[in-house]
Structure 1
Amino acid sequence: MYGPPPAPWIRPEPRKPSEIAFGAVAGLLLLGSSLLNGALLFLLCFVGDGCGSTAMSRERVCHGSGAAQVFAAPWVSLVAAVAAAGVVAARARRRGRTPWLALLPGVLVHGAGLAFVYASIWG
């Protein structure tokens, strides 16, 4: 073998069982959120049906770019939630702490996006 041995910071540390479990749980939450967003997207296809009637006047969805915001908000919030959870988990791993607390910011960010959709349609 020629040259110096590889630096210890280049060689990754083996994953702990709790980190593997965290990855599995985070993946299942991502899958469940994606299925929820898909079902919500299907239901949102029918939101504009009441735009012509006076009984169902949804101003934000019926006029302007509100419909695009309502369709995009769950997916944008899901991407932001994954990014937030990833950043918090990476910081926790670098500091030697548990990554499980990283799920909370992800859930809160995605919940805020779903709350925005709810408030846009029925609020």
Structure 2
Amino acid sequence: MSLPMQGSPGTARRTWPTGYLVTLAVLVAGGLMIDMFAFYLSVFATDSCGSSDDPAPVCTTFGMLSMWALPWIGLGVAAAVSAGLGLLAWRRGRTPWVHLPIGVVLYVASLVGAWTIMVS
């Protein structure tokens, strides 16, 4: 089976949503920088941990690992959801841009979760 040529009459060849994917890549790069800053802050959130009977959630092993991992996991999930939904919409002939805010909301939710653990 041969693919139709781009200039053939009666055929419309769709191109990849390059602008959407480039925008998503730029947002992911910005998210990586934000995650590095959040990790830097989270390292110092454990300064108040000591030997006490009732440790704060930030001082437990689960709390520390959650605080460190949530932004990174959130970024990965947000990028995957935005890319997946956007490309699925593009394949169906719809605009992928409406799915970009879904990823942003998921990423911000992961940052809020990490911040909540940090200040507890």
Q: TM-score, normalised by structure 2?
A: 0.81
Aligned to 2:15, the other structure's residue is in SS state: coil
Gaps (5+ residues) in structure 1? none
Aligned amino acid, residue 63 of structure 1: T
Q: Which residue in the other structure is 1:66 paired with? A: 63
Aligned counterparts of 2:63 and 2:94: Cα–Cα separation in 1: 41
Q: Which residue in the other structure is 2:111 paired with? A: 114
Preserved contact between residue 85 and residue 99 of structure 2 (Cα < 8 Å): yes
State the identity as a percent: 28
Q: Which residue in the other structure is 1:6 paired with? A: 2
Q: TM-score, normalised by structure 1?
A: 0.79
Aligned amino acid, residue 15 of structure 2: R
Structure 1 runs of 4+ off > 3 angstroms? none
Q: Which residue in the other structure is 1:22 paired with? A: 20
Quick check: 1:99 aligned with 2:96?
yes
Higher relative contact order (CA 8 A, sep 6+): 2
Shift of 1:101: 1.1
Aligned amino acid, residue 31 of structure 2: S
Deviations, residues 73-102 of structure 1 (Å, cap 9, x unaligned): 000011110111022112211110111112
Shift of 1:52: 2.3
Aligned to 2:61, the other structure's residue is in SS state: coil
Preserved contact between residue 45 and residue 119 of structure 2 (Cα < 8 Å): no
Aligned counterparts of 2:47 and 2:60: Cα–Cα separation in 1: 13
Q: Which residue in the other structure is 2:10 paired with? A: none
Distance 1:91 1:34, change over 3 A: same
Preserved contact between residue 89 and residue 102 of structure 1 (Cα < 8 Å): yes
CA RMSD of aligned residues (A): 2.1
Aligned to 1:96, the other structure's residue is in SS state: coil
Q: Which residue in the other structure is 1:32 paired with? A: 30
